[in-house]
Amino acid sequence: VSIKADDDQMLQGLHAEDDRDGDVTDSLVVVSHTKFFARGKFRVNYAAFDKKGNVGTYTRVLEYTDYTSPQFSVISPFRYKENEGNLQLLSKVKAEDCLEGDISGLIKLKYDEGSYVNIDEEGKAGVTFQVTNSCGDTVQLPVQLEFLDEETWSLPYPILSEYLVCTPVNTEVDYAEYLTGVNVGGSELLFEDAKTGKDYGYFRKNVSIDPQVDYSNPGIYPVVYTLNSSDEEKGTEELGSVTMYVEVRK
Protein backbone atom coordinates (compact mmCIF):
# COMPACT_ATOMS: atom_id res chain seq x y z
CA VAL A 1 0.00 0.00 0.00
CA SER A 2 0.95 3.65 -0.30
CA ILE A 3 2.03 5.69 2.72
CA LYS A 4 -1.25 7.56 2.21
CA ALA A 5 -3.36 4.40 2.62
CA ASP A 6 -6.32 4.64 5.00
CA ASP A 7 -7.88 1.76 6.97
CA ASP A 8 -10.16 0.79 4.08
CA GLN A 9 -7.15 0.27 1.83
CA MET A 10 -5.35 -1.69 4.55
CA LEU A 11 -8.41 -3.98 4.73
CA GLN A 12 -8.43 -4.77 1.02
CA GLY A 13 -8.28 -8.48 0.21
CA LEU A 14 -9.47 -9.65 3.63
CA HIS A 15 -12.56 -11.80 4.16
CA ALA A 16 -14.11 -12.84 7.49
CA GLU A 17 -16.63 -15.61 8.02
CA ASP A 18 -18.47 -16.96 11.08
CA ASP A 19 -19.79 -20.55 11.35
CA ARG A 20 -23.23 -19.24 12.40
CA ASP A 21 -23.53 -15.73 10.96
CA GLY A 22 -21.81 -16.41 7.66
CA ASP A 23 -20.01 -13.53 5.97
CA VAL A 24 -18.98 -10.90 8.56
CA THR A 25 -16.43 -9.09 6.38
CA ASP A 26 -18.23 -5.80 7.00
CA SER A 27 -17.23 -6.02 10.67
CA LEU A 28 -13.51 -6.08 9.92
CA VAL A 29 -11.45 -3.29 11.51
CA VAL A 30 -7.79 -2.35 11.77
CA VAL A 31 -6.86 -2.68 15.45
CA SER A 32 -3.21 -1.61 15.39
CA HIS A 33 0.04 -1.91 13.54
CA THR A 34 3.60 -2.44 14.68
CA LYS A 35 6.76 -0.49 14.07
CA PHE A 36 8.83 -1.55 11.09
CA PHE A 37 10.58 -4.90 11.38
CA ALA A 38 12.30 -4.10 8.07
CA ARG A 39 12.42 -0.85 6.13
CA GLY A 40 8.84 -0.02 5.11
CA LYS A 41 7.43 -3.36 6.31
CA PHE A 42 5.15 -3.74 9.32
CA ARG A 43 2.50 -6.04 10.78
CA VAL A 44 -1.14 -4.98 10.89
CA ASN A 45 -3.52 -6.50 13.45
CA TYR A 46 -7.16 -6.95 12.42
CA ALA A 47 -10.35 -8.00 14.19
CA ALA A 48 -13.78 -9.24 13.03
CA PHE A 49 -16.96 -9.66 15.08
CA ASP A 50 -20.03 -11.87 14.97
CA LYS A 51 -23.49 -10.70 15.99
CA LYS A 52 -22.90 -11.67 19.62
CA GLY A 53 -19.69 -9.68 19.82
CA ASN A 54 -17.28 -12.60 19.71
CA VAL A 55 -13.94 -11.54 18.25
CA GLY A 56 -11.66 -13.19 15.74
CA THR A 57 -8.19 -11.71 15.09
CA TYR A 58 -5.68 -11.89 12.29
CA THR A 59 -2.25 -10.42 11.53
CA ARG A 60 -0.57 -9.90 8.19
CA VAL A 61 2.42 -8.00 6.81
CA LEU A 62 1.98 -4.83 4.79
CA GLU A 63 4.66 -2.92 2.94
CA TYR A 64 4.70 0.75 1.95
CA THR A 65 5.55 0.86 -1.73
CA ASP A 66 6.56 4.54 -1.73
CA TYR A 67 8.22 4.83 1.66
CA THR A 68 11.49 6.74 2.09
CA SER A 69 13.50 7.02 5.28
CA PRO A 70 13.69 10.36 7.12
CA GLN A 71 15.90 12.88 5.33
CA PHE A 72 18.22 15.38 6.99
CA SER A 73 18.91 18.82 5.61
CA VAL A 74 21.78 21.09 6.66
CA ILE A 75 21.11 24.83 6.77
CA SER A 76 24.65 26.14 7.16
CA PRO A 77 28.19 24.70 7.28
CA PHE A 78 29.76 23.30 10.44
CA ARG A 79 32.43 25.97 10.37
CA TYR A 80 33.38 27.76 13.59
CA LYS A 81 35.88 30.25 14.90
CA GLU A 82 37.98 29.00 17.82
CA ASN A 83 36.74 30.36 21.14
CA GLU A 84 33.19 30.46 19.77
CA GLY A 85 31.24 29.26 22.78
CA ASN A 86 27.71 28.66 21.47
CA LEU A 87 27.86 26.07 18.69
CA GLN A 88 24.05 25.80 18.24
CA LEU A 89 24.52 22.49 16.42
CA LEU A 90 20.87 21.45 16.43
CA SER A 91 19.85 24.74 14.81
CA LYS A 92 21.87 23.85 11.73
CA VAL A 93 20.04 20.60 10.99
CA LYS A 94 16.44 19.71 10.11
CA ALA A 95 14.75 16.37 9.44
CA GLU A 96 11.74 15.63 7.24
CA ASP A 97 9.76 12.39 7.28
CA CYS A 98 7.39 11.20 4.53
CA LEU A 99 4.90 9.97 7.15
CA GLU A 100 5.11 12.66 9.84
CA GLY A 101 6.50 15.74 8.14
CA ASP A 102 8.94 17.87 10.13
CA ILE A 103 10.55 15.77 12.88
CA SER A 104 13.43 18.15 13.60
CA GLY A 105 12.40 18.25 17.25
CA LEU A 106 13.34 14.56 17.57
CA ILE A 107 16.95 15.03 16.43
CA LYS A 108 19.63 14.00 18.90
CA LEU A 109 23.40 14.27 18.61
CA LYS A 110 26.43 12.62 20.08
CA TYR A 111 30.14 13.23 19.78
CA ASP A 112 32.00 10.44 18.07
CA GLU A 113 33.92 8.05 20.32
CA GLY A 114 37.37 9.42 21.01
CA SER A 115 36.43 12.81 19.55
CA TYR A 116 37.28 15.68 21.89
CA VAL A 117 35.95 19.16 21.27
CA ASN A 118 38.15 21.99 22.43
CA ILE A 119 36.69 25.22 21.10
CA ASP A 120 39.82 27.07 22.22
CA GLU A 121 41.98 25.28 19.68
CA GLU A 122 42.05 24.93 15.92
CA GLY A 123 41.05 21.48 14.68
CA LYS A 124 38.19 19.11 13.88
CA ALA A 125 35.72 17.03 15.87
CA GLY A 126 33.27 14.40 14.71
CA VAL A 127 29.60 14.43 15.71
CA THR A 128 26.66 12.30 14.60
CA PHE A 129 23.07 13.51 14.34
CA GLN A 130 20.35 10.88 14.71
CA VAL A 131 16.59 10.89 14.28
CA THR A 132 13.94 8.14 14.60
CA ASN A 133 10.38 8.35 13.29
CA SER A 134 7.37 6.77 15.00
CA CYS A 135 7.80 3.59 12.93
CA GLY A 136 11.24 3.03 14.40
CA ASP A 137 13.24 3.94 11.29
CA THR A 138 16.50 5.54 12.43
CA VAL A 139 18.87 7.52 10.23
CA GLN A 140 22.19 9.10 11.12
CA LEU A 141 24.26 11.97 9.78
CA PRO A 142 27.98 11.96 10.71
CA VAL A 143 29.76 15.28 10.13
CA GLN A 144 32.99 17.05 11.04
CA LEU A 145 33.03 20.30 13.01
CA GLU A 146 35.80 22.66 11.94
CA PHE A 147 37.37 25.10 14.43
CA LEU A 148 39.47 27.75 12.71
CA ASP A 149 41.92 30.35 13.97
CA GLU A 150 41.09 34.03 13.54
CA GLU A 151 43.11 34.45 10.36
CA THR A 152 41.68 31.38 8.61
CA TRP A 153 38.16 32.18 9.79
CA SER A 154 38.30 35.66 8.25
CA LEU A 155 39.29 34.40 4.78
CA PRO A 156 36.62 34.52 2.04
CA TYR A 157 35.03 31.12 1.40
CA PRO A 158 32.43 29.62 -1.01
CA ILE A 159 28.68 29.75 -0.38
CA LEU A 160 26.53 26.75 -1.32
CA SER A 161 22.77 26.43 -1.84
CA GLU A 162 22.79 23.04 -0.06
CA TYR A 163 25.18 21.53 2.46
CA LEU A 164 23.69 18.02 2.30
CA VAL A 165 22.57 16.40 -0.96
CA CYS A 166 20.89 13.00 -1.26
CA THR A 167 21.27 10.83 -4.36
CA PRO A 168 20.55 7.17 -5.29
CA VAL A 169 23.38 4.66 -5.72
CA ASN A 170 25.29 5.09 -8.99
CA THR A 171 23.78 8.54 -9.61
CA GLU A 172 26.41 11.30 -9.60
CA VAL A 173 25.80 14.82 -8.32
CA ASP A 174 26.63 17.97 -10.28
CA TYR A 175 28.75 19.69 -7.65
CA ALA A 176 28.97 23.00 -9.51
CA GLU A 177 25.16 23.28 -9.40
CA TYR A 178 25.30 24.02 -5.66
CA LEU A 179 27.97 26.74 -5.81
CA THR A 180 26.23 30.12 -5.51
CA GLY A 181 28.73 32.73 -4.35
CA VAL A 182 31.39 33.84 -1.88
CA ASN A 183 31.24 34.92 1.74
CA VAL A 184 33.55 37.89 2.28
CA GLY A 185 33.76 39.32 5.78
CA GLY A 186 30.34 37.99 6.67
CA SER A 187 28.68 39.40 3.54
CA GLU A 188 27.22 36.96 1.03
CA LEU A 189 28.18 37.95 -2.50
CA LEU A 190 26.23 35.87 -5.00
CA PHE A 191 27.54 35.18 -8.48
CA GLU A 192 24.12 35.87 -9.98
CA ASP A 193 24.16 39.40 -8.55
CA ALA A 194 27.42 40.36 -10.21
CA LYS A 195 27.42 40.97 -13.95
CA THR A 196 31.01 39.87 -14.45
CA GLY A 197 32.18 38.80 -11.01
CA LYS A 198 34.76 41.60 -11.06
CA ASP A 199 32.68 43.50 -8.51
CA TYR A 200 34.43 41.51 -5.80
CA GLY A 201 37.17 39.78 -7.75
CA TYR A 202 36.02 36.14 -7.63
CA PHE A 203 34.58 33.93 -10.35
CA ARG A 204 33.18 30.41 -10.24
CA LYS A 205 36.44 29.29 -11.76
CA ASN A 206 38.22 30.45 -8.59
CA VAL A 207 36.56 27.60 -6.67
CA SER A 208 38.15 24.13 -6.74
CA ILE A 209 36.04 21.13 -5.79
CA ASP A 210 37.41 18.00 -4.14
CA PRO A 211 34.77 15.22 -4.01
CA GLN A 212 35.45 12.09 -1.97
CA VAL A 213 32.29 10.19 -2.94
CA ASP A 214 31.90 6.50 -3.75
CA TYR A 215 28.63 6.37 -5.66
CA SER A 216 28.65 2.57 -5.72
CA ASN A 217 28.37 2.26 -1.93
CA PRO A 218 25.65 3.80 0.27
CA GLY A 219 27.03 6.23 2.81
CA ILE A 220 27.70 9.89 3.59
CA TYR A 221 30.72 11.50 1.95
CA PRO A 222 32.39 14.95 2.10
CA VAL A 223 32.90 17.29 -0.83
CA VAL A 224 35.26 20.19 -0.12
CA TYR A 225 34.89 23.50 -1.98
CA THR A 226 37.95 25.77 -1.74
CA LEU A 227 38.16 29.39 -2.88
CA ASN A 228 41.42 30.34 -4.58
CA SER A 229 42.82 33.79 -5.15
CA SER A 230 44.19 34.66 -8.57
CA ASP A 231 47.00 37.16 -8.19
CA GLU A 232 49.34 37.74 -11.13
CA GLU A 233 52.24 38.43 -8.77
CA LYS A 234 51.61 35.89 -6.01
CA GLY A 235 49.97 33.26 -8.20
CA THR A 236 47.14 31.02 -7.01
CA GLU A 237 46.65 30.87 -3.25
CA GLU A 238 44.10 28.84 -1.28
CA LEU A 239 41.67 30.91 0.77
CA GLY A 240 38.71 29.60 2.75
CA SER A 241 36.93 26.30 2.25
CA VAL A 242 33.56 24.78 3.09
CA THR A 243 32.27 21.18 3.14
CA MET A 244 29.13 19.78 1.58
CA TYR A 245 28.01 16.20 2.33
CA VAL A 246 26.61 13.78 -0.24
CA GLU A 247 24.38 10.98 1.01
CA VAL A 248 24.33 7.98 -1.34
CA ARG A 249 21.18 5.92 -0.67
CA LYS A 250 20.06 2.45 -1.73
Number of Cβ within 10 Å of residue 41's Cβ equals: 14
Q: Say yes or no to pLDDT of 119 above 70.
A: no
Name the band, by pLDDT with cuts 50, 70 and 90, for residue 250.
confident
Render pLDDT for 11-30 as a digit per residue (tens, 0 to 9): 999 999 999 999 999 999 99
Q: CA-CA distance, 210 to 218, in Å (whole number)?
A: 19
Task: Please give the pLDDT value at position 197.
Answer: 46
pLDDT at 133 over 50: yes
Q: Does residue 120 have a pLDDT over 60? A: no
One-character DSSP codes across 53-78: --EEEEEEEEE-TT----EEEESS--
- pLDDT tops 80 at residue 115: no
Higher pLDDT, 231 or 171: 171
pTM of this structure: 0.84
What is the arithmetic mean of pLDDT over 96-104? 96
Query: 235 pLDDT band (50/70/90 cuts)?
Result: low
- Whether residue 232 has pLDDT greater than 60: no
With beta carbons less than 8 A apart as the criterion, state whether 211 and 186 touch. Answer: no
Query: Greater confidence, 30 or 124?
Result: 30
As a dihedral over the C-alpha atoms of residue 149, residue 153, residue 158, residue 159, rounded to 10 degrees, the angle is 120
